[in-house]
Structure 1
Amino acid sequence: MAGEGSAAAFDDEAEPTVTIGEYIEGIEAEELEADLVLGGDDGKECTYGGGYLKRQAVFSCLTCVPAGVGGVCTACSLACHDGHEVVELWTKRKFRCDCGNSKFGGHPCKLCPEKDPENSANSYNHNFKGSYCTCGRPYPDPEAKEQVEMIQCCICEDWFHEDHIGLNSIEEIPHDEEGEPLYEDFICQKCSPDCYFLKLYPDTVWASRTQNSVSQASTTDSTVMDGGPSHDNIEKRENGSLANHLNCENTYGDDNCPKDNAAPEKAILDDSSDRKCKLGMDIGTNTTLVDSEKKLPFFMSKGWREVICRCETCTNFYGEQGVAYLIDKDDSIEEYEKVAKQKREKKLEQQEGAEANFLNSLDHVQKIEILSGINDMKNEFQSFLESFDPTKPVTSEDIKAVFENLAKKKRQRLS
């Protein structure tokens, strides 16, 4: 019995193993994630010639610009700043590559040397110095025992820890049962006053912590309990949709609810053309009652940008507020990732086409040789994994032995 217990303990301590298929799937998942962040950019050409791109991956080199007032594109981060202290900023809007300009101390860009001294339309925040959130900590945080989830404001584009966005609890963030976000965009409490006009829209633009199913939509004036029997977690539905966090009958409680006189009456959307205002009002005269002491973050529902009015009056107002990009489809992260996926699919198709063309260019004997080599490699790796002791590390000698066996089999096959 003692021996069985020791064996069980040893099994628990053994490192988990993965199959070659699982390993390849993991690599492909990492490649997809990288493509989504980089927007499908292959990192071969500097983006400076494209001007201020609507959205692109941006990096800050603290080795070259310690003050954090310069940003470079993907290609330059690889070609010009390899081995430097580089901060990955994910994506930024309307940014032009700074690499090699006056901020880089006379070190020209290797990919695009001819650049203006500065890109005056670029904007920089403390992210470029490697700090994030209201706490100003780096990410990953070397002093944190566990890295806390961070979300990006779609206005200022800063990143925030979920427990530093001005809510009583991270449970108030709209997530489904698996922890996946139910919102498309997040607007931090600092930026929300600039977007106060969004309160004029119906509750459909706001993300709720509970998914609104068909059965829920058919029932009105009922309550939903989420996260336990606490009265603070009761959400009242209005007109078939869950009340959003900006209404006074919400999960945040009275202390976090804007005063009644600070919330303008919501409009009923008019599904008319862009020339006629959907709201039927001048939003510039209906969004002045901002309660500065009740700043709350906004969580916007999926597809909310399509709802926003695009009439001339509203569009001019967005420009005055500095948020005209909110009605630009290409500005959203969702569209950015959609384009990245399309580029990735096209790249994979081209690779498959190149492989097919290569095989078609071979004669029968060459094809048989390649297929035999692939089969030998698969069998050799299979044998290695079956005979290898998972409690021991894989050494260079082990890998060398695998390829020596492959070479021996090839010699035997050709002799």
Structure 2
Amino acid sequence: MAAEGTDAVFEDEVEPTLTISEYMDGIEAEELEVDLVLGGDDGDECTYGAGYLKRQAVFSCLTCVPDGVAGVCTACCLACHDGHEVVELWTKRNFRCDCGNSKFGGHLCKLNPEKDPVNPGNSYNQNFKGSYCTCSRPYPDPEAKEQVEMIQCCICEDWFHEDHIGLDSAEKIPCDEDGEPLFEDFICHKCSPVCSFLKLYPDSVLASSKQTSASPSQAVAADSNGMEGTEKNENGAPVDHQSVEKTSVKDNSTKDIAASESSNLGDNSAGNCKLGMDINTKSADSEKTMPFFMSKGWRETLCKCGTCTNFYAQRGIAHLTDKDDSIEEYEKMAKQKRKKKLEQQEGAEANFINSLNHVQKIEILSGINDMKNEFQSFLESRDPSKPVTPDEVQSIFKNLAKKKQRII
């Protein structure tokens, strides 16, 4: 029994091992995640010269500005605030880099020292001080037993813990069986009153945790020719709620959602209001404030007539009609930049190889093969349960150097 117990202890102490392929895949995933956060920004140049960017990664340096009323771009975070207490804010809209302006007490930006004293178009919230949610706690929270994921409001851009967003116990955040979100944007309960006009739109613009694909019996009923009891729109055409539901949740297609709403909303092409009413005459919703989870592609359904557009602008939510403002578009742009960067790297490598003569190409290929064999021998000869030491890594390159000397 003692021996079995000892074996169990050793089994628990064995560290998981990774293949080279798994390790490289892990690095690739981490690099992609960084690119998605930074929007593909390499951090080479300060973004101040580009003005108020539609969306960019922003950081707050509490070492330089303890009260947290300034934000810096990725490049300035790396070049001007290395080693400082920096808060990562992910992305902010319509923001211009503050680094080195009047808020920094005379410390000029190393990358772009010629800046206006302030950026009046910037907006700041408690995130810049390292506080989030209605509980105003930091993230990660040193006092929390477990770090709970947070979601960002597309209006105020604050981050919220899932249990602090005003949902009743019976209500859930719209997610699929794998926990992936079924919504594109989140509007917190503090911002939802200014967006109460969204309730004038068909229910399909709001994502729901209860949305699922139709059952076989429902599908048969939807396909049948019987029209009794079928809801119809003002034109007399049947309203297919199953189709709308499938489109907004399963297909996740902006174009399809917009098309599915055409039977429920008016035509906006000639400047007419989709809602067929003056949105200003609708009073704010006096019911309990609740968060909104918006279906994928919901921005495309919003009316853009003159009256509605002015309504959005007066309430500071004009960005809602801009699909490029969404995080989805931001990450799409980041992926495109990453793809282009990788293609450029591959092209540079190919050009380098093509510039070599035959003997040089053979030497490089031989060196790569020697390194591959050396790593293979190293991995086969050692105990996989033990960590790799610096001395072992050095010995690999020493052996490679000895092989090269013997060849010479």
Please, what TM-score do these two structures have when normalized by structure 1?
A: 0.85
Which deviates more from structure 2 when the two are superposed, residues 380-389 or residues 183-192?
Answer: 380-389
- Partner residue in 1 for 2:213: 213
- Partner residue in 2 for 1:43: 43
- Partner residue in 1 for 2:398: 404
CA offset at residue 320 of structure 1?
1.2
CA offset at residue 290 of structure 1?
1.6
- Partner residue in 1 for 2:285: 290
- Does residue 1:349 correspond to 2:343, yes or no? yes
- Partner residue in 2 for 1:305: 299
Aligned pair in 2 of structure 1 residues 219, 332: CA closer, same or farther (>3 Å)?
farther
CA distance in structure 1 between the partners assigned to 2:168 and 2:211 by the alignment: 21
Alignment of 1:97-112 (within 5 A): 97-112=97-112
- Does residue 1:325 correspond to 2:319, yes or no? yes
Which deviates more from structure 2 when the two are superposed, residues 365-374 or residues 192-201?
Answer: 365-374
CA distance in structure 2 between the partners assigned to 1:274 and 1:49 by the alignment: 38
CA offset at residue 238 of structure 1?
9.0
CA distance in structure 1 between the partners assigned to 2:281 and 2:325 by the alignment: 27
Alignment of 1:164-183 (within 5 A): 164-169=164-169, 172-183=172-183
- Partner residue in 2 for 1:88: 88
Aligned pair in 2 of structure 1 residues 220, 102: CA closer, same or farther (>3 Å)?
farther
1:163–1:170 CA contact under 8 A, matched in 2: no
CA offset at residue 404 of structure 1?
0.6
CA distance in structure 2 between the partners assigned to 1:170 and 1:152 by the alignment: 22
RMSD of Structure 2 on Structure 1 (CA): 2.2
Question: How many residues are matched?
Answer: 374
1:61–1:87 CA contact under 8 A, matched in 2: yes
1:212–1:242 CA contact under 8 A, matched in 2: no
- Partner residue in 2 for 1:251: none
Aligned pair in 2 of structure 1 residues 289, 63: CA closer, same or farther (>3 Å)?
closer
2:193–2:284 CA contact under 8 A, matched in 1: no
Which deviates more from structure 2 when the two are superposed, residues 267-276 or residues 108-117?
Answer: 267-276
Q: Give secondary structure in 2 for the equivalent of 1:172.
A: coil
Which deviates more from structure 2 when the two are superposed, residues 330-339 or residues 7-16?
Answer: 7-16
CA distance in structure 2 between the partners assigned to 1:23 and 1:271 by the alignment: 53
- Does residue 1:382 correspond to 2:376, yes or no? yes
Which deviates more from structure 2 when the two are superposed, residues 382-391 or residues 183-192?
Answer: 382-391
Q: Give secondary structure in 2 for the equivalent of 1:335.
A: helix
CA distance in structure 2 between the partners assigned to 1:274 and 1:27 by the alignment: 51
- Partner residue in 2 for 1:240: 242
CA offset at residue 333 of structure 1?
0.6
CA offset at residue 50 of structure 1?
0.8
2:207–2:293 CA contact under 8 A, matched in 1: yes
Q: Tell me, which stretches of 5 or more residues in structure 2 are unaligned?
A: 223-238, 246-262
CA offset at residue 383 of structure 1?
2.0
CA distance in structure 1 between the partners assigned to 2:2 and 2:77 by the alignment: 57
Match of 2:276 among 277, 280, 296: 280
The percentage of counterpart residues that share the same residue type is 75
- Residues 360-404 of structure 1, C-alpha deviations (whole Å, 9 max, x = no match): 001111111111111111222222222222343322111111111
- Residues 92-132 of structure 1, C-alpha deviations (whole Å, 9 max, x = no match): 00100000000001000000000000011111101000010
CA distance in structure 1 between the partners assigned to 2:109 and 2:170 by the alignment: 43
1:212–1:241 CA contact under 8 A, matched in 2: no
Q: Tell me, which stretches of 5 or more residues in structure 1 are unaligned?
A: 222-236, 244-266
CA offset at residue 8 of structure 1?
4.7
2:182–2:207 CA contact under 8 A, matched in 1: yes
CA distance in structure 2 between the partners assigned to 1:39 and 1:30 by the alignment: 14
